[in-house]
């Protein structure tokens, strides 16, 4: 789709349009469309190809049958807000008032959007680590704030403390933390999180932490920023049920923060979706209350899938990272002679019948050079499919 005339010069959305004014789909939508049109195995967009826990699915069906089909309350259904509060206490020892410190949103996506739009204005700086989940840059631009990035470099994708210090100043309004990190699967160590809290205090910034992969860690512990000393009062913790319960299409997310911050975020959120997903809210509440074994086994199953895909990518000649968490592995195609992963990803469906996402899609144009041969592959798929994808990549002939 293309727009012309004065519209793109005046709308805030113009900042998100391509150079010719075209309304380009996100990289995830583009790559899923490519997979659908070519029949290639879609290891691009991160969504599971199997259903999550039966109790959660059944609870949604039961809610629909019981007539939970109209607008839920603006902050979310009490049963879910209480389940989110109980989850934060059970896993992290964080005590919350479910009535005032928890907001249910349309996925983590809406929580991120409402939070950034509520907290930032023109002239404010938003610090993100780079590569970054594309929404952070898009919403920062929509709010007319300025994005400042701190590089995360292969193979570990952890920030340099001095570069982090240099990025935060008195104009910084928000520091966005995404640990476990998409696309790299890095889990930030406690020292880095503590430094972020210290910098937020020093410069009076708010920490917005996107923890959607919180339960999908492989032998390392997820540490919520809000649990660190002095952090809660200036932290918005965002997560969602999509990854943990394999229900990415339900779009049930949440933000947890001190009451004044929740009020500000809810004020914006009410004009974005108002509310969403009534029958899915009690179902995600059931999920959050599942026994520990469920959470442990979801992570263990995913870890085995990581290993299948990583081994396949290595035998196909890629240099493969070892993600500590999440849905994705980053593979370096440089040993295969690839210098432009974006071009290579567009050719990959015909070369190998597989779709991946170039890491440059998570990096601003000026900083792309050091990421130009990296590809993100999703391993949240059935083991047979991952084996098939690995075999296809190993059999690929590069011309
Ligand atoms: N943050 C990160 C880091 C993600 O990878 C995603 C996508 N899965 C989201 C936010 C969006 O989550 P949701 O689907 O709950 O809106
Ligand atoms: N979070 C998912 C990913 O990184 C997809 C999100 C989306 O399609 N916007 O692949």
- CATH number of the domain that residue 304 is part of: 3.90.1150.10
Closest CA to 219 of 190, 245, 194, 187: 187
DSSP state of 73: P
Domain boundary among 263, 289, 315: 289
Both 367 and 271 in a single domain? Answer: no
Has residue 168 been placed in a domain? yes
Query: What is the model's pLDDT at position 94?
Result: 98
Q: Are residues 226 and 167 in the same domain?
A: yes
Same domain (yes/no): 98, 234:
yes
| Tokens, residue 308 | 């299948």
Answer yes or no: is the C-beta of 46 below 6 A from any ligand 2 atom.
yes
pLDDT range class, residue 397, cuts 50, 70, 90: confident
pLDDT at 16 exceeding the cut of 80: no
- How far, in Å, from the CA of 46 to the mean position of ligand 2? 5
The reply to whether 250 falls in a domain is yes
Residue 26 Cβ inside 6 Å of ligand 2? The answer reads yes
Q: Whose CA is nearest to atom 3 of ligand 1?
A: 182
277 and 301 in one domain?
no
Q: Is the CB of 244 under 6 A from ligand 1?
A: no
For 371, residues 6+ apart whose C-beta sits below 8 A from its C-beta are 131, 154, 341, 359, 360, 362, 363
**Same domain membership, residue 265 and residue 220:** yes
Ligand 2 centroid distance, CA of 344 (Å)? 20
Write the CATH number for 98: 3.40.640.10
Tell whether 4 is covered by a domain.
no
Nearest ligand, measured from the Cα of 109: 1
186 and 61 share a domain? yes
Asked if residue 244 is part of any domain, the answer here is: yes
pLDDT in tens, 78-115: 999 999 999 999 999 999 999 999 999 999 999 999 99
Which of 255, 274, 289 is a domain's end point? 289
Q: Is residue 265 part of a domain?
A: yes
Number of domains making up the chain: 2
**This prediction's pTM:** 0.94
User: What are the angstrom distances between the C-alpha of 245 and each of 162, 297, 299?
Assistant: 37, 12, 11
CB-CB neighbours of 207 under 10 Å: 25
Nearest 5 degrees, angle CA 14-CA 20-CA 26?
A: 65
Choose one of 254, 271, 289: the last residue of a domain.
Answer: 289
Question: What tens digit of pLDDT does each residue of 47-83 get?
Answer: 999 999 999 999 999 999 999 999 999 999 999 999 9
**pLDDT mean over 15-27:** 63
Asked if residue 180 and residue 120 are part of one domain, the reply reads yes
**Which residues is 104 bridged to in the sheet?**
254
Domain residue limits at 139: 54-289
Query: In the structure, what pLDDT confidence band is assigned to residue 2 with cuts at 50, 70 and 90?
Result: very low
Evaluate whether residue 16 is within a structural domain: no
CA proximity to 336, closest of 361, 308, 356: 356
Ligand number with the minimum distance to the CA of 254: 1
Q: Is the pLDDT of residue 243 over 60?
A: yes
Tell me the CA–centroid distance for residue 249 and ligand 2, in Å: 11
Residue 170 lies in a domain: yes
**Same domain, yes or no, for 316 and 259?**
no
Report pLDDT for 329.
98
Query: What is residue 21's predicted lDDT score, i.e. its pLDDT?
Result: 52
* Separation of CA 182 and ligand 2 centre (Å): 9
- Per-residue pLDDT for 9 more than 50? no
pLDDT for the residue numbered 167: 98
Both 46 and 130 in one domain: the answer is: no
pLDDT at 190 over 50: yes
371: in domain: yes
Q: For residues 122 and 207, state if they share a domain.
A: yes
Is the same domain home to 139 and 171?
A: yes
Helices (H), ranges, 47-189: 54-65, 78-92, 107-119, 134-142, 161-167
Q: What is the pLDDT of residue 108?
A: 98
> Do 255 and 364 share a domain, yes or no?
no
């Amino acid at each position: 789709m293309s727009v012309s005339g004065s519209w793109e010069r005046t709308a805030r959305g113009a900042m998100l349009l391509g150079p010719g004014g075209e309304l380009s789909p996100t990289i995830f939508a583009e790559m899923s469309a490519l997979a659908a049109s070519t029949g290639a195995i879609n290891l691009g967009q991160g969504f599971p190809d199997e259903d999550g826990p039966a109790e959660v699915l059944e609870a949604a069906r039961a809610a629909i049958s019981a007539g939970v089909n109209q607008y839920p309350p603006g902050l979310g259904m009490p049963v879910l807000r209480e389940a989110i509060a109980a989850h934060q206490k059970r896993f992290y020892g964080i005590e919350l008032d479910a009535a005032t410190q928890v907001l249910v949103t349309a996925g983590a996506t809406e929580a991120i959007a409402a939070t950034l739009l509520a907290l930032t204005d023109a002239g404010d700086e938003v610090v993100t680590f780079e590569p970054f989940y594309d929404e952070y840059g898009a919403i920062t631009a929509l709010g007319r704030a300025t994005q400042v990035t701190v590089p995360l470099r292969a193979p570990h994708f952890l920030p340099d403390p001095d570069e982090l210090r240099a990025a935060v100043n008195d104009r910084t309004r928000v520091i966005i933390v995404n640990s476990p990190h998409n696309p790299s699967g890095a889990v930030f160590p406690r020292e880095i999180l503590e430094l972020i809290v210290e910098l937020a205090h020093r410069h009076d910034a708010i920490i917005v932490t996107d923890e959607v992969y919180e339960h999908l860690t492989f032998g390392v512990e997820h540490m919520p920023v809000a649990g660190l000393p002095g952090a809660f009062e200036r932290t918005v913790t965002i997560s969602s049920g999509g990854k943990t319960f394999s229900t990415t299409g339900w779009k049930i997310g949440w933000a947890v923060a001190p009451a004044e911050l929740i009020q500000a975020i809810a004020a914006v959120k009410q004009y974005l979706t108002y509310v969403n997903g009534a029958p899915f809210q009690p179902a995600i509440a059931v999920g959050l209350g599942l026994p520990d074994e469920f959470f442990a086994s979801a992570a263990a199953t995913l870890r085995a899938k990581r290993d299948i895909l990583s081994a396949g990518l290595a035998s196909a000649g890629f240099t493969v990272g070892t993600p500590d968490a999440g849905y994705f592995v980053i593979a370096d195609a440089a040993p295969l002679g690839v210098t432009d992963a974006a071009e290579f990803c567009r050719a990959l469906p015909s070369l190998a019948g597989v779709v991946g996402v170039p890491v440059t899609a998570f990096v601003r144009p000026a900083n792309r050079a050091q990421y130009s041969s990296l590809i993100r592959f999703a391993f949240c798929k059935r083991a047979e499919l991952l084996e098939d994808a690995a075999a296809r990549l190993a059999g690929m002939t590069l011309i």
